[in-house]
Structures are given as C-alpha cells and as structure tokens.
C-alpha cells in the first residue's frame, strides 16, 4: 500500500512538471500524502510498525508536505499573474 502511494506521488509530480495545469496533479499528490499520513498513523497505532520506523517515515512525509504546499502556492500565484495579464 505505501509503495503504491509513493508511486502515485512520484507520478503526480512528474505529470505536474510536464503540465500547464499543475494544480490538478499537485492536489492529487497532496491528497495522497494525507492518505499516507492516515495509513501510517493507523499502522503505528495497531503495532504494525515500530516507533523507529514510524519516526523515519513521518520524517519523509514531513519533508514532502511543505514542498508540495509551496509548489501549489507558487502555481496559484502564476495562475493569478497570467489571468491579470489577459
């Protein structure tokens, strides 16, 4: 499950990079990260992973979330700037 979610995130980033409308793909990536947070917490609460594994994985998600949020913010500002010049 986590592997598939990670692949969907990577795929979303690749599609966003090559797309004029990045927002759609970035929203999908943000949603996938949110789902991974939920699954990860559930897995930890059910003792499916150790505290150390949980910490490592949450660090990775913590690194990804602000990057996607900043990219979404940049995309919104670009869309507004484009709309203002039209």
Residue 56 is predicted with a pLDDT of 93
Which residues are within 8 A (CB) of 9 and not within 5 positions of it... i.e. 6 or more apart?
Answer: 29, 32, 33, 36, 64
Q: What pLDDT is recorded for position 61?
A: 87
Read off the pLDDT band of 11 (50, 70, 90).
Answer: very high
Contacts of 16 (CB under 8 A, 6+ apart): 22, 25, 26, 29, 71
Among 2-6, 17-21, 47-51, 70-74, which stretch is predicted with the lowest mean pLDDT? 2-6
Query: What's residue 44's pLDDT?
Result: 96
Domains in the chain: boundaries: 2-85
In this model, does residue 5 exceed pLDDT 90?
A: no
* Whether 86 contacts 65, CB under 8 Å: no
What interhelical angle do 22-45 and 2-17 show, nearest 10? Answer: 160
Q: What is the pLDDT of residues 33-84, one digit of tens each?
A: 999 999 999 999 999 999 999 999 999 888 888 889 898 898 888 877 777 7
Task: Find the Cα–Cα–Cα–Cα dihedral 50, 51, 55, 61, rounded to 10°.
Answer: 60
Cβ–Cβ under 8 Å, residues 32 and 10: no
pLDDT at 86 over 70: no
The C-alpha atoms of residue 5 and residue 61 are separated, in whole angstroms, by 12
């Amino acid at each position: 499950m986590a592997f598939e979610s990670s692949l969907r995130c990577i795929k979303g980033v690749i599609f966003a990079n090559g797309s004029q409308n990045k927002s759609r793909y970035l929203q999908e990536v943000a949603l996938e990260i949110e789902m991974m947070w939920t699954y990860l917490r559930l897995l930890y609460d059910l003792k499916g992973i150790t505290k150390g594994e949980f910490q490592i994985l949450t660090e990775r998600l913590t690194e990804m979330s602000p990057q996607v949020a900043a990219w979404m913010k940049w995309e919104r500002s670009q869309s507004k700037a484009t709309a203002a010049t039209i």
